Chain A
Amino acid sequence: MATALELHDLTVSYHKKPVLYGVDLAIPEGSLVGLIGPNGAGKSTLIKAVMGLLPVSGGWVKVFDQPFKEAKRRVGYVPQRESVDWDFPVNVMDVVLMGRYGRLGLLKRPGKADREKAREALDKVAMLPYANRQISNLSGGQQQRVFLARALAQESDLYLMDEPFAGVDAATERAIIALLQELKAKGKTILVVHHDLTTVKEYFDRLVLLNMRVVASGPTEEIFTVDLLQKTYGGRLTLLSDIAQESTHHEQGTK
C-alpha cells in the first residue's frame, strides 16, 4: 500500500528545547490512525510541524511520496477548537467556505460550485440548518462539526485532526467517528490526536504512540499493549492499570 505520510528524523524545538526528537513515521494510505501520548508529548507539535506551521530544525516530511510543499493541497488541517476566537464576526457558511480558499487561491471568489460543496459538507455533519448562524451561538460540539465540515470542503486525501473529540457531547463524538470511518472507506487517510484511551481500540485501526519520539507505530491490536503504553506514559501506573483492565475487558468481550 502506498504511503500517505512519511516523516524522517523530524526534530522540532521550542526555545531551543526539543519537543520532537528524531521522529520517524510512515502512515499507509487509507488508514484511520490515532496519535496517542501524554500531555506535552508533542502531539499537536507533530501535526503543526507536518503542516509547516512550525520551524523544523531537522528532518523532512513527505506526503504521498512528494515533498510537503508540492502536495499541500492534498492535506486538510483541523485545528483545536480553542485556537480561534468564536466571537469573530463570521457565520457558519463563511467558515466552511474557507475550506475552498486553498483551491481558489488568493484572488478568486468562491462561486456556486464552492457553495454547493460547502453545503454538502455541512449536510454531512448535520449542520446545514445552522449555515447562517453566527459562530458564537454554537455549542462546543457544533463548533467542532463546523471545523470538520470545513475540512471536508477541502476535499483532501490526508486529514490531520488536532483533538476533534475534545469537549464535545456524546452524540457529536459518535457522529464524528462515523464520519471518519466513512472517509476511511473512501480511501482517505486520517491522523487524529486523541486523549481518551478507553475508546482507542474501538475507533482506530492503527496507532502512533508518541512521547518526544515515536515509541511505537502500527496496527492497534499489536501496539495497544500495557508494555508499550507504559513506555509511552512513563510511570503513571494508576492510569495504566486502569487501561490494562479496560483492555483485558475488551479482549474478553465483556464490555
Chain B
Amino acid sequence: MRVLMAVLLLLAALGVPTPLLAARVGDLTETEVLEQARRFFSFSDPALRTALLGCLLLGLNCGLLGSFVVVRRLSLVGDTLSHAVLPGIALGFLWNMSKDPVVILIGATSAGVLAMLTVNAITRTTRLKDDAAMGLVLSSFYAIGICLVTMIQRLPTGQKSGIDKFLFGQAAALTSSEVLTIGITSLVTLFFVGLCFKGLLVLSFHREYGESLGLPMGWLHQIVMILTAFAVVTAMQAVGVVLVSAMLILPAATASLLTDRLHRLIWLAALLGMLAAALGAFFSFLGNNFPTGPFMVLAGAALFIPAFLFAPRHGWITRWWRHLSRRLRTERENTLKAMYHVLEDRDFHGESVSVVELAQKRRETIEEVTQRAHALQRAHLATLTDGTMLHFTPEGLLKARAIVRNHRLWELYLTNIMQYESDHVHDDAEKIEHVLGEDMVRQLERKLDFPQTDPHGKEIPRVDSGLVQRSSRSS
C-alpha cells in the first residue's frame, strides 16, 4: 500500500508542475503540495468535504454495479451508456441554461435509454452484432454531444456554465444537491443489491435457469440497467463522460482477479471503487483542481496492476513463480534420480556419489553438476563434502527412491497394461514420475500385482523404509 501511495505521489508530482512551468518556474515548491495535502486531510474545507463524500458514494455505486457489468460481460454496455448520455446532458442544460441536476438526470437517462433502444433496433433488423451496433451508437451519440457542448460554450452565458466539466470531470464542482442525488442513487443500489442478491446471482450466472425457477429475471435485468445508467449519469460530473465507464469496469475487474465468489467480488469492488474515487479526488485537489476523472482512473489502474501481477490464483507473477518452482523441483528430483542410478550401478557399494560420477551419468560438465549439487544441499536433500562428494540425507534418499519407483512403475504399466513396446515408454515416464501422487502409485502397484522389476529388468525400489535396502536379488 505504501509503495502504491509513493507511485501515485510521484505521478501527481509529475502531473502538477508541468502546465504551470512556463509561467512560474520555482514558484511551486514542495511545501505547497504538502500544504495542499494537509488541507485535504484536515477535512476543514466544506466544499472539499462535499466533493470527497460525493466521490466516495459514486465509487461505491460504480463498484457495486460494475461487478455485474463485468461478470456478465457487458463492459461495452457501460461504455456505450456513458458516451451516449452526453447529448442528453447538453439538452438538459439548454432547457433552462443551468446545471439543474434533476433536469440533467432526466435528459441523460432518456439519451441513454434512446441509445440502448437504437442498439436493439440495429441488432434486430440487420445482421450487425452487438459490438458493432454499440460502437456505432456510442460514437454517433458522443459526436452529437460534443457539437452541443461546443455550441453551449459559444453562447454568451456558456463560458462560465461549467458544462465542459462533464467531459473530464471535476469533483470540486460537485454541489451539495448533486451529492445528494449521488447519495440517493447509491443507497438505492446498495439496498437493491443486498436485498435481491440471490436473484442477481442467478441472473448473472444463467438467466434462463432463473426464469425456469419463476424468478422475475426480466425485471431484475431492467432494474440493474436503469441503476447502471443512473450511476453513470450521477458520476459524470465528477469523473467525466469519457472515463466514467472505467469506474464501472476497473474496480470490478480488479476484484474479479482477487476472489472466486460473487458476493466477495461485489464488496471488494465497492471498496476499491471508493478507494480509487477518493484517491482521484485527492490528487485532483493536490494539483489545484485538475480534472478528477483521469486521476480516478489512474488510481483504479494502479490498484489493478498489483492484482494482475500478484493475485493469489490468477496473478501473472504468482503463476510464473508456481511454474518456476515446479521446474526447479523437477530438476532437483532428476539430480536425485541420477545419484540413485550411480549408486545402483555399483550395487550400492559405498554411500557417496562423486561429482564426476554424477556428471558422467547426467552427461554434463562438473560445473553444471556442482550447481545441481548445491541446489540439493539448499533443499536439504543431500550434503556436499569438500565440494566433490555427495551424500543423500534420509529425506533425499526417500525422495530419490520414490522418483525411481514412479518411473519404473509407470514404464511397467505402459508395457504390461497398455501394451506399449518397452522402447517407447521411457520418455513418457520421465514426465510422469514427477507428478504421480502416492494414491496413484498405490493403484498402479495393485493393478500390477506389486511388481519387483521394471520392463528393463531393473529393480523397483520400495519406499516404505528410509534405509538403503541392499538388493538381495540384484542381477
Contacts and interface: CB of A to CB of B under 8 A. Distances in A.
A90 interface: yes
Interface string B199-242: 10110111011111111100000000000000000000000000
Contacts of A105: 215
A89 B256 contact: yes
Interface of A: 48, 51-53, 72-73, 75, 77, 79, 83-85, 88-91, 94-95, 98, 101-102, 104-107, 109-110, 134, 154
22 contacts: A72-B213, A72-B214, A75-B212, A79-B206, A79-B209, A84-B206, A88-B205, A89-B261, A90-B201, A90-B261, A94-B261, A95-B205, A98-B209, A101-B202, A101-B210, A101-B215, A102-B213, A105-B215, A106-B198, A107-B195, A134-B260, A154-B213
A109 to B, nearest CB: 7
B281 interface: no
Contact of B201 (A53, A79, A94, A154): A94
B276 interface: no
A255 B147 CA distance: 78
Given A88-B262, A106-B196, 17 more contacts: A79-B208, A83-B208, A84-B206, A85-B205, A88-B71, A88-B204, A89-B256, A89-B262, A89-B265, A91-B261, A94-B262, A98-B202, A101-B198, A101-B199, A102-B215, A106-B216, A134-B260
B71 A102 contact: no
B211 A53 contact: yes
A86 B36 CA distance: 48
Contacts of B201: 90, 94, 98
A109 B71 CA distance: 22
Contacts of B262: 88-90, 94
A53 to B, nearest CB: 5
A15 B209 CA distance: 23
The 6 A-B residue pairs with the shortest CB-CB distance, nearest first, are: A102-B213, A77-B212, A134-B260, A72-B214, A84-B206, A51-B212
Contacts of B215: 101-102, 105-106
A101 B206 CA distance: 13
Nearest to B213: A102
A195 B134 CA distance: 39
B259 interface: yes
B208 A53 contact: yes
Interface in B62-81: 71, 73
Nearest to A109: B198
A252 B208 CA distance: 44
Contacts of A104: 198
Nearest to B220: A106
B11 to A, nearest CB: 31
A89 B260 contact: yes
Interface string B130-145: 0000000000000000
Interface string B257-273: 00111100100000000
A29 to B, nearest CB: 20
Contacts of B211: 51-53
Nearest to A72: B214
Nearest to B73: A85
B314 to A, nearest CB: 10
Nearest to B260: A134
B214 A102 contact: yes
A104 B261 CA distance: 21
Given A98-B205, A104-B198, A89 B216 contact: no
Nearest to B313: A134
Nearest to A52: B211
A146 to B, nearest CB: 12
A89 B259 contact: yes
A154 B208 CA distance: 16
Nearest to A103: B213
B96 to A, nearest CB: 41
A151 to B, nearest CB: 10
A66 B234 CA distance: 48
Contacts of B214: 72-73, 102
Contact of A77 (B209, B261, B265): B209
Nearest to B208: A53
Contacts of A72: 213-214
Given A89-B260, A101-B213, A83 B206 contact: yes
A88 B71 CA distance: 7
B222 to A, nearest CB: 14
Nearest to B204: A88
A238 to B, nearest CB: 31
Given A89-B265, A134-B260, A48 B208 contact: yes
A74 to B, nearest CB: 11
Contacts of A102: 213-215
A91 B209 contact: no
Contacts of A88: 71, 204-205, 262
Nearest to B265: A89
Q: Which of B195, B199, B204, B206 is most buried by chain A, counting CB atoms within 10 A of its CB?
A: B206
B194 to A, nearest CB: 10
A44 to B, nearest CB: 11
A105 B195 CA distance: 12
Interface in B153-209: 195-196, 198-199, 201-202, 204-206, 208-209
Contacts of B73: 85
B347 to A, nearest CB: 45
B188 to A, nearest CB: 16
Contacts of B205: 84-85, 88, 90, 95, 98
A83 B209 CA distance: 10
Q: Which of A51, A52, A101 is most buried by chain B, counting CB atoms within 10 A of its CB?
A: A101
